[in-house]
Structure 1
Amino acid sequence: MSAVRGLFNFLLFSSLYVACIAIVMIWQTNTLLHVQEVNHVYYFFVFCATMCSYNFHWYLTPADYSTSERIQWGARHKGLQLALCAISGAGALYGFWLLKEHWLPLGGAAVLTFLYSAPKLPQRAFVWLRKIAVGKTIFLTTVWIYVTTVLPLFIERQPYSHDMLLFALHRFFLVYALCILFDYRDLESDRREGIRSLITWLSPRNLRKLYATSLVLAAVFALALYPVDNWLLTGILLAPVVITTGLTRYIMQNRSDHFYYFVVDGMVMLSSLLHFILVRSGLL
């Protein structure tokens, strides 16, 4: 059992799992919005870039005042995190070179991703960012939607449609609600690090209202997508919204890293995974 737990920890805490989440989400974007010619280099680029950025972020996260199993795992595996960051960073640069005709939007995504982790750097210029990072939850959500939903369509030069906007908004509010759950759990550690966010600023009552509103809007935009395909697909899009809503009380009382980084993170890709399974089984 210890070997299985060690492998599970590696998949979660090395960020392999979250990199796979990004890939499945891009697949759903291409499939749901009927992208005819998929650039598979972009999958490679995003996988490597996600591994690089997340390992960089967790490498910089101090373990001094945290009992988090993920942070403690990172403290014991600093060399591994640095190696994964370097290897995946090299892969991301190679992918960037292959996609160099899209250097501006890809470069923008890279800069935004770096700025999310920048407040953890010890240099004075970056420490200053901790005081103004009030919108870091919105910032992280925007980066995820930009990379998994907007950029794939831009790279393939898909003409704009209302379905694109509705799908992006559905994903944005779902991911934002899930990010609120993470920030709520990490509220005290963020305060100790001096990192300000909307979550540390809002009262508990207003935070609950923001969270509930995000889930409602995620459901509304999922319903608005009908009849982009059929009711089965609409049900798939609604599944993570409904499950997250039902689990909210339990999630807010839970502090387990395994639960958050496997189940709560998994809600981000649940509809994508269900979509993939149904397409492969011939039901969609």
Structure 2
Amino acid sequence: MLRAFINFVLFSSIFIAICAIIMTWQTNEILQLRYDAIDYYRFVFFATLCSYNFHWYLTPANLDASHRIQWGIGKRRLQLAFTAIGAIGSAYFILPLLQHWLPILGAIVLTFLYSAPKLPQTIFHHLRKIAVGKTLFLTFVWTYVTTVLPALIDGHAPVITTVLLSLHRFAFIYAICILFDWRDKVPDKAAGIRSLITYLDDKHLFQLYYLSLAVAGLAALCMLFFDVSIMVVLTFIVPCFVVGFLKGYAQRHTNDYVYYFLLDGLMMLSGLLHLLLFL
């Protein structure tokens, strides 16, 4: 029963939706944003639930399908239901923020573009050939929704701190995405989905991985010069080291629990550490 519950929370994308909320909360705290945050948290939760279940619903099974895909194949109706619930919930909770419709529309379009190559219509198949699309789309969407969009909605966020936080988030999430894409390189090539990752050999790929973590760490350190406390900055630095040391482990253990719990969960580790500072 415990394993079934864990699978449900992970593979129904409830877990990753919680990660998104924690990251958004941390953005609000660091940038001292004052807007309708509660409705935005609800929007982020339901939008994440919708987009991820839609994405996995479109993912076909094969002989080498991962445990997550196999779980989803047996629960198509649940994925469709969560897609619908997520769409309805996100549409409802974004209503109080509709005066900011343009930046919100940008998030919706980018999120759709990530899953669009999986649609059966021929017009969407061309998106598979965009050389850097898969990884950068996903990284940018996460950075935009959890960092940039809240600052745009508030309208009074400190510009330089927002840029540094966004740079940190982008570089940090990109490093995690590199590990996912390394694991999925072979099936991605077979499916005709191209990304920067599929073009690089492992040596250059992991040079990019460590460079991304270095940029993330440097951006975090620079926030010290813009009224962000050293304790908060350390909450960003610690996950960078953890992800750096986990590369070998993630390469040796490619099961879905390592990737969708441990690596995905590391995206919110900084926010959880930050939350501890308030206790």
TM-score range, shorter chain: over 0.9
Tell me if structure 2 keeps the 8 A contact 1:21–1:269.
yes
For each residue in 1:88-128, what CA deviation from the matched residue of structure 2 results, as whole angstroms up to 9, or x when unmatched? Answer: 11111112323211111111110110010000011100112
Q: Distance in 2 between matches of 1:239 and 1:185?
A: 24
Question: Contact 2:113–2:137 at 8 Å: present in 1 too?
Answer: no
Q: 2:262 corresponds to which residue? A: 263
Tell me the CA shift for residue 66 of structure 1. Answer: 3.0
How much does 1:129 deviate? 1.3
How far is the alpha carbon of 1:230 from its aligned partner? Answer: 2.2
The aligned amino acid for 2:92 is: Y
The answer as to whether partners of 2:220 and 2:233 remain within 8 angstroms in 1 is: yes
Preserved CA contact (<8 Å) 1:19 1:51: yes
Aligned to 2:94, what secondary structure does the other structure show?
A: helix
- Distance in 2 between residues matched to 1:96 and 1:224, nearest whole Å: 33
1:230 aligns with 2:223: no
2:51 match? 53
Q: State which drifts further: 53-62 or 230-239.
A: 230-239
TM-score with structure 1 setting the length: 0.95
1:165 to 163, 169, 188: 163
Unpaired segments ≥5 residues, structure 1: none
What is aligned with 1:128?
Answer: 126
Contact 1:44/1:95 (<8 A) preserved? yes
Q: Name 1:33's counterpart in structure 2.
A: 31
In structure 2, distance between residues paired with 1:197 and 1:210: 14
Provide the identity percentage.
Answer: 50
Paired residues for 1:96-245 under 5 Å: 96-227=94-225, 228-245=227-244
Q: Answer yes or no: is the 8 Å Cα contact 1:39–1:156 preserved in 2.
A: no
Rounded to whole Å, the distance in 1 between the matches of 2:81 and 2:277 is 37
Partners in 2 of 1:157 and 1:276 — Cα distance? Answer: 24
Partner of 1:17: 15
Give the C-alpha shift of residue 135 in structure 1. 2.7
Return the match for 1:71 from 69, 72, 81.
69
Q: What is the TM-score normalised by the length of structure 2?
A: 0.96
Instruction: Read off the aligned partner of 2:130 and give its amino acid letter.
Output: I
Is the alpha carbon distance of 1:271 and 1:155 closer, same or farther for their aligned partners in structure 2, counting shifts above 3 Å? same
Instruction: Name the SS of the counterpart of 2:224 in structure 1.
Output: coil
Q: Tell whether the 8 Å contact from 2:33 to 2:157 is kept in structure 1 after alignment.
A: no
- CA deviation vs aligned residue, 1:136-155 (integer Å, no higher than 9, x gap): 21111111100000111111
Distance 1:240 1:159 in 2: 25
